Amino acid sequence: MSTVTTPPSEFQELVPARMLNEYAYCPRLCYMEWVQGEFVHSADTLDGRLQHRRVDRDSGSLPDPDSTSDDEPETLHARSVLLSDDDLGAIARIDLVEADGHTVTPVDYKRGTVPNIPGNVYEPERVQLCLQGLLLRAHGYRCDEGVIYFVGSKRRVTVAFDDELVTRTRSLLHETRVMADRGGIPAPLEDSPKCPRCSLVGICLPDEVTFLRGGRHIVKPDDVRRMVTVRDDALPMYVITQGAVVGKSGDTLTVRQKGETIATARLLDVSSLSIFGNAQVTAQATRELLDRGIPICHFTYGGWLKGTTVGMTHKNVELRMAQFRAAADRTLSLAIAQEMVTAKIRNCRVLLRRNHPDAPAAALNELDRLAQSVEAADSLQTLLGIEGAAARVYFAHFGDLLRSGPAAFDFRTRNRRPPKDPVNAVLSFLYSMLMRQIMVSSMSVGFDPHLGFYHQPKYGRPALALDLAEEFRPIVADSVALGVFNNGELKERDFLQRNEAVSLTTEGRRTVIRAFERRMDSTITHPLFGYSISYKRVLEMQARLLGRHLLGELKTYPAFRTR
């Protein structure tokens, strides 16, 4: 029997048999799951987990491989058996081991039905099973074959551990280890039928990355398959009632005030929880939210984002290391900031052009000129100057985009801290909403939201979230502000004036939150990939594309520019 010898490795981790399965399916999938710690539940993985429930409980035991006693019972079943071997460099939790005397057979449970292919078992499942067999052999058992039990078909399929399969299994095990040792994410599969069924397709972005890198088969937007979901099923939950208490009852979040339940939401349907002012979250609800990776965002009553509560930090250390390296590299930081500022100025220009009753040619030309001048900026300071000049041109005409309403809703100039008129109060509130959404997206991708490339990490501000927000301020926040005023959704009674500061009332805030969430949920045609996608998904995708750039897969950061 020929074998591939695994060389001594500095990578001390044992290869889990499940990761060998992933590697055989797609090396990039294995890398993202094993090295970068990425994981998302899809309908497939949840279904698989349910079907594994019974076998995941330890029970029974294996016979002693060294026993010479004739008293061994003829057959034994041991469930959820954990085995590892340093020489083999592998570890596996085997669903079920059947023993007949000293001969053992690993049984692996798979959801779904028996595939109609020669041998009835795909290679990833065959090598995973064979590795389990090799681990049993390493522990002194005789193991010549294994069984895949297909839950959907209720059928057992036997896989013989012949020389060819053993050689292939050892070879893939070696390759998996080399990939992890070497580091660097493998390229996506190109135009592969495996991708649409892959649980990490929304993280991997195979066609999008291949298109931006200039693939052989994916050369135009029409070639990019939309495999990410158009929009999220889960929605953010906002609690703005003062004195409310968010608790947990079974799989449901409850909001109570003075002993009365005023709202409920299934945890499955909640993507984040935002608390405004003095509402409380019980310890039980907090733990459950953290376990499920649902962040809690804390705002002041006035809508100022004070911080977020999240579970254990995302495991993608590789991404954070790349982020820190890039942030320390002035050239790289400037290049990323240039893309963001160009996109922001261009998106401001589009908003003016589309919404102005008499598009001001001089302002549009000036914004065009400023966007072009970004390329020549040789420092972040120069870039700040260009952005400031563009903001002055843009906001000088922003008031013209508001249809005539109460005089109190006139807009003359952008002001903040505190906002001095209703339009500025709404803009400030919406920028906070946008920041919350981008904080959540960037943390879910694995970034440290406090270290950016354009905004500097001073004063504890979330610099990366501020960076990523730039390109979306006009097309998300400003656009929602125009909508709520121009559609008459906000009235003068929705604002409070205290000294020179103007703020939204609770009801006004509700109106703006509803409008913001409508915008997040609305779909657009993606300007690069040509498919329909919600703004909320776009925000997350931009954070992922930034990650792909930082990890060297994309030459530049493709900032979001609307048409």
Residues interacting with ligand SF4, by CB under 6 A? 26, 28-29, 188-189, 192, 194-195, 198, 200-201, 204, 206
Structure tokens at 131: 């590795």
Q: Is 71 left (phi over 0), alpha (psi -120 to 50) or beta?
A: alpha
- In whole angstroms, what is the distance from residue 9 CA to residue 7 CA? 6
Shortest Å distance, C-beta 175 to ligand SF4: 15
Q: Is residue 28 a contact partner of residue 188, using CB atoms and an 8 Å limit?
A: yes
Question: b/e for 112-135, b at 16 or more Cβ within 10 A?
Answer: eebeeeeebbebbbbbbbbbbbbb
With both helix axes pointing from N to C terminus, report the angle between 479-486 and 506-521 in degrees, rounded to the nearest 10: 120
Shortest Å distance, C-beta 551 to ligand SF4: 14
Q: What is the dihedral of CA 414, 296, 333, 224, to 10 degrees?
A: -100
Report, in angstroms and rounded to the nearest whole number, the Rg of the chain calculated over CA atoms: 28
Nearer to ligand SF4, 28 or 248 (CB): 28
Nearer to ligand SF4, 195 or 463 (CB): 195
CB contact set of 396 (below 8 Å; sequence gap of 6+): 363
Nearer to ligand SF4, 218 or 469 (CB): 218
- In whole angstroms, what is the distance from residue 492 CA to residue 426 CA? 12
Nearer to ligand SF4, 94 or 201 (CB): 201
Residue nearest to ligand SF4 (CB): 198
Nearer to ligand SF4, 29 or 88 (CB): 29
Shortest Å distance, C-beta 195 to ligand SF4: 3
Nearer to ligand SF4, 210 or 437 (CB): 210
Shortest Å distance, C-beta 28 to ligand SF4: 4
Tokens 């504890």, residue located: 460
Nearer to ligand SF4, 133 or 206 (CB): 206
Nearer to ligand SF4, 28 or 544 (CB): 28
Q: Is residue 467 a contact partner of residue 452, using CB atoms and an 8 Å limit?
A: yes
- In whole angstroms, what is the distance from residue 344 CA to residue 356 CA? 18
Task: Tell me the CB-side half-sphere exposure of residue 357, using CA atoms within 13 A.
Answer: 7
Task: Tell me the CB-side half-sphere exposure of residue 528, using CA atoms within 13 A.
Answer: 18
Nearer to ligand SF4, 200 or 512 (CB): 200
- In whole angstroms, what is the distance from residue 158 CA to residue 423 CA? 70
Which residue type is seen at 293? G
- In whole angstroms, what is the distance from residue 196 CA to residue 160 CA? 30
Q: Is residue 347 a contact partner of residue 535, using CB atoms and an 8 Å limit?
A: no
Shortest Å distance, C-beta 212 to ligand SF4: 14
Nearer to ligand SF4, 206 or 419 (CB): 206
Shortest Å distance, C-beta 384 to ligand SF4: 38
Would you call the peptide bond into 106 cis, given omega within 30 degrees of 0 as the criterion? no
Tokens 């551990």, residue located: 161
Shortest Å distance, C-beta 204 to ligand SF4: 3
Shortest Å distance, C-beta 95 to ligand SF4: 24
